[in-house]
């Protein structure tokens, strides 16, 4: 719900703190919070992305080994990330379709398949 509220209120600074870096967003590698904040989302935010996130109930969300999916067809993926010695935090691992120049639903599905490999690597390293 916090992520949903950050997006709907366009609180990019708060959202940037919930991301595990590096992250690929719409085909671009983002390595830090400042990179994320410099994406210019206020001018490029996709209304379709916002509508899909607004429709998310944040209850009974799809969960698999990939993590927790938010927004169809996998706009945001969350997973536990190790943040220190035996400390874990739920973070955003993938964002798809956030900008107007973003991917089609078909391309997002391909990215989700690619994301599988990242999750497996991060959990087993």
What are the pLDDT digits (tens) for 97-122?
888 765 555 665 665 566 555 444 44
Query: What local confidence, expressed as pLDDT, does residue 110 receive?
Result: 66
Residue owning tokens 């989302």: 41
Task: Please state, in angstroms and rounded to a whole number, the distance separating the CA atoms of residues 123 and 50.
Answer: 30
Is pTM beyond 0.95? Reply is no
Q: How far apart are the first and last CA of the chain?
A: 29
Tell which residue, 37, 42, 32, 36, has the closest CA to residue 10: 42
Question: Residue 58 is encoded by which pair of tokens?
Answer: 């944040």
- Give the CA dihedral 33, 39, 45, 51, nearest 10 degrees: -20
């Amino acid at each position: 719900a916090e992520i949903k509220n950050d997006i709907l209120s366009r609180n990019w600074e708060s959202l940037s703190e919930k991301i595990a870096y590096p992250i690929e967003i719409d085909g671009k590698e983002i390595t830090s919070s400042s990179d994320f904040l410099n994406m210019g989302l206020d001018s490029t935010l996709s209304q379709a992305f916002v509508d899909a996130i607004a429709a998310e109930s944040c209850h009974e969300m799809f969960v698999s080994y990939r993590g927790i999916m938010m927004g169809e067809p996998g706009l945001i993926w969350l997973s536990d990330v190790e943040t220190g010695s035996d400390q874990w935090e739920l973070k955003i691992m993938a964002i798809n379709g956030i900008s107007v120049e973003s991917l089609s639903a078909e391309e997002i599905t391909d990215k989700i398949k690619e994301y599988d490999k990242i999750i497996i690597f991060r959990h087993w390293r």
